[in-house]
Amino acid sequence: MCESPPHANGTPDRLNRGPGCLRDDRNVTAPDDFRAHPHGHTHQHGPAAPVSAHLRRVIAAVLIPFAAVMVAGLVALWPGGAPEQDEHTGVGFDQQHERARVTEVVEVPCEDVGVQVPQGVDGACERATVEVTSGPHAGRTFEEIVPPDATQRYSDGQDVIVAYAPDAPEELQYSVTDVDRKAPMLLLAAVFALAVVAVGRLRGLLALVGLVVSFAVLTLFILPAILHGSNPLLVAVIGGSVIMLVTLYLCHGVNARTSVAVLGTLISLLLIGLLGSLFIGWAHLTGNTDDQTGLVHSLYPGIEIRGLLLAGILIGSLGVLDDVTVTQTSAVWELKQAEPEASWLKLYRAAMRIGRDHIASVVNTLVLAYAGAALPLLLLFTIAQSSVGTVTFSELVAEEVVRTLVGSVGLVASVPVTTVLAALVVSADRHPGQAAGPGPATNRHRRRARRK
């Protein structure tokens, strides 16, 4: 035991001690293993680097070839823009459009303007005077009749979009197709961007850049490549993988944590692709269940509609998968930082408790999102008083059910898959400078100190 020299009165002097003593009478002699390695660190000096350079090379050996294959596929299937049309199809915004403004709106009897009102609908018709403000006929005015049961109403001074049909008679060349909503949409986008940057700061700014990349890949590669006749599933896999790699590494950094999230997302996407292909074929789903799909098929008969359905499932699931895999990987890393000595099994169990809550909320979100999108369809089935079985097993609804359940299965599977990958990686090895644990000399020193 460390002894202090006594005062003249025989009491120990706790201020004037001999060498190698602390104020609480503990010996400060360093343990043997620390003296042998004066620059080493024991486990008491904070959490070590969770992944060594060797393990980072192993992860890179898996992901770099995959990224190279995806980039090669992107280059090989690059469409070079949407296919050229010999003439306007007249579909949607393929028409010629100009800007215009409503200058006057007056109520008129429907009989006077030749509008037949459906039975049970009350109210007068409206006659809107519209002035073209762009194009070769700027300044020309025409009239638009609005029946009382129309969902879109107009007001004085409202900006609208008009379609121009050059081959029609002069009085019928222009017609209102939509309202001009550029100002509120741009304002909302600006508010969204400011909120993301204000809260997320640099990470939020990088997330916005990733969003731009996602839209660019979607509009410049995925959609034109499908229109050029490429396999929709192959295009979706390549395009979705490129989006995932760019956005995840851009937003979360090029590190092992992000790489584990990428691996978990890839495995889950593979599962979604296999399940989707199996049940789409088994349920004999054609994918041609609405007017838009039928119109696309009539304009481009070479597009594989069933592959388009599976591609939509993959792309729709990708965004939610990214959220789940990144969250689970971050949870494992933070748990390891809080308890550096925890085993991979303990980390896995703790992170899965977080993941189960995530599963419950996200699956419910997916179901409600699809139900909200299909709400008019569900209303039609309710009006028709069809039975639940008839509604559920009809192709129109079965397609959405398969889409929802396949995506949800992949989402649920991503939680344990990503969690176990993260737990194994973060516990696989230690930084070379970190000791594996307290040596025998350290243990002997601690037992000696407790006895004293």
pLDDT tens track for 22-60? 444 444 444 443 333 444 443 343 333 456 677 778 788
Residue 395 has pLDDT above 70, yes or no: yes
Across the chain, mean pLDDT equals 78
Instruction: Express as a percent the part of the chain with pLDDT over 70.
Output: 77
Q: What is the pLDDT of residues 340-384, one digit of tens each?
A: 888 999 999 999 998 888 787 777 776 777 677 777 777 777 776
Of all helices (H) and strands (E), which one includes residue 162?
strand 159-164
At 383 the pLDDT is: 73
Band (188; pLDDT cuts 50, 70, 90): very high
What is the distance between the alpha carbons of residues 401 and 289, in angstroms, rounded to a whole number? 13
Q: What is the dihedral of CA 216, 222, 223, 227, to 10 degrees?
A: 140
Q: For 235-292, what is the HEC assignment?
A: HHHHHHHHHHHHHHHHHHCCCHHHHHHHHHHHHHHHHHHHHHHHHHHHCCCCCCCCHH
Residue 98 has pLDDT above 70, yes or no: yes
Specify whether the CB–CB gap between 248 and 261 falls below 8 A.
Answer: yes
At 376 the pLDDT is: 74
Residue 298 has pLDDT above 50, yes or no: yes
Question: What are the Cα distances from residue 258, in Å, to 19, 224, 317, 439?
Answer: 50, 30, 18, 34
What is the distance between the alpha carbons of residues 408 and 270, in angstroms, rounded to a whole number? 13
Band (312; pLDDT cuts 50, 70, 90): confident
CA-based torsion, 324, 329, 333, 336: positive or negative = positive
What is the distance between the alpha carbons of residues 433 and 192, in angstroms, rounded to a whole number? 45
At 84 the pLDDT is: 65
Q: Which tokens in the block code for residue 149?
A: 């049961």
Question: What are the Cα distances from residue 116, in Å, to 122, 125, 215, 268, 293?
Answer: 12, 10, 44, 55, 32
Q: Which tokens in the block code for residue 1?
A: 């035991």
What is the distance between the alpha carbons of residues 382 and 236, in angstroms, rounded to a whole number? 35
Specify whether the CB–CB gap between 217 and 250 falls below 8 A.
Answer: no
Band (392; pLDDT cuts 50, 70, 90): low
Would you report the helix, strand and coil content of the chain in percent, each value rounded to 5? 60, 10, 30
CA-based torsion, 439, 445, 448, 452: positive or negative = negative
At 404 the pLDDT is: 83
Band (90; pLDDT cuts 50, 70, 90): low
Residue 227 has pLDDT above 90, yes or no: no
Residue 439 has pLDDT above 60, yes or no: no
